[in-house]
Amino acid sequence: MYSPIVNILVLVSLQPPTLLESWTKSLPKGYSVVYRPQQIEGAELPTDEELAAADAFFMFQWPSNLTSVKQVPNLKLVQLASAGSNHIESSPFYSSLDDSHPLIIASASGIHVAPIAEHVIMTTMMLLHNIPKIFLATRTQQTWTPHAELGWFRELRGLTIGVLGYGHIGREIGRMAQAMGMDVLAATRSGKKASIGGFLVPGTGDHDGDIPSTWYSTDSASSIHDFYSAADVVVNTLPATSATELYVNAEAFKSMKNSSIYVSIGRGQTTDQDALIEALQNALKPLTGDEKEGDLCISGSSLDVTTPEPLGKDSPLYTLPNVVLTPHMSGMSSQYFVRAMELFAQNLDRVVVKGEGGLNAVRGRGE
């Protein structure tokens, strides 16, 4: 009897609905796909037999009936549908993995660089052009705001954008910002120019790291201070780790220009939200003439990530007129799963068929 050479468990509800069929048809002969989407209420869990046969998973989270590595003797690849991976580590299955186990877990970094970079540029322009204030006045008060009250807005061209975390998303933000006439700064742990690997969408990003005019180190207090103080727009793309928790704190906001804009699209835990709110509220107070750089004050913020999520209804962030607040949706492009499945197909060939390392590996052998 003929046996497939690659057994695949897809544990995510794919969109558009036609994607599963078209993707399955594009696979080489010998690939067998079992579809058990876990986000759907009442969805069937994969059977013991399906788990035991699986060479690869495509998933956001472990299926609830998977608790031990012994259940998946053939599993070689787990392709996550998310850029982050910390959410899968606190599980019985992950704990059952010995450090020497060859399982490769790969993130989806790189699949949503385009929509998130667009979101950053779009919401930054909204703040620069006073759109939140105008929107509130026209929609909630039916008021035509006088030009004298609005004041003159700033253009992107000629401003400096600092990208905190120059990974896949950060590099596409840098590319788009440069195209809009902005100077680009990059802050990474090393503070040195570096290329990037992993999954790359053609025509996006800054593979060789040529775009930033200056690189700064996040491990150096003086370097990161200089980074904040030089930028008109600071974009936080940091992941959630023990090292990045509350990384952008009150001292960071004091280091920023009073006129700066803070954009956060990484993880909410990396920002001291109370300090941010105070800095935003201070920007709305009447001028006294005593203002100076170094105050806890920034002009506006675009937040796609918060702590907690959903944000509590009593948070001032909902009503501050110098805030653009979105519900962690900047990556929700119609192309999200199309690109994710392109990455999965590449990793299936690399890891399962050829025995090579995985693109975007966060555990096990990388490229």
pLDDT digits (tens, 9 = 90+) for 259-313: 999 999 999 999 999 999 999 999 999 888 888 889 999 999 999 999 999 999 9
272: which 2 tokens? Answer: 């001291």
Task: Give pLDDT, residue 289.
Answer: 81
Of the pLDDT bands very low, low, confident and very high (cuts 50, 70, 90), residue 168 is very high
All domains of the chain in start order, with CATH: 6-111+334-363 (3.40.50.720), 113-325 (3.40.50.720)
The model's pTM is 0.91
Is residue 26 predicted with pLDDT exceeding 90? yes
pLDDT digits (tens, 9 = 90+) for 223-271: 999 999 999 999 999 998 899 999 999 999 999 999 999 999 999 999 9
Is residue 104 predicted with pLDDT exceeding 60? yes
Q: What is the mean pLDDT of residues 209-229?
A: 98
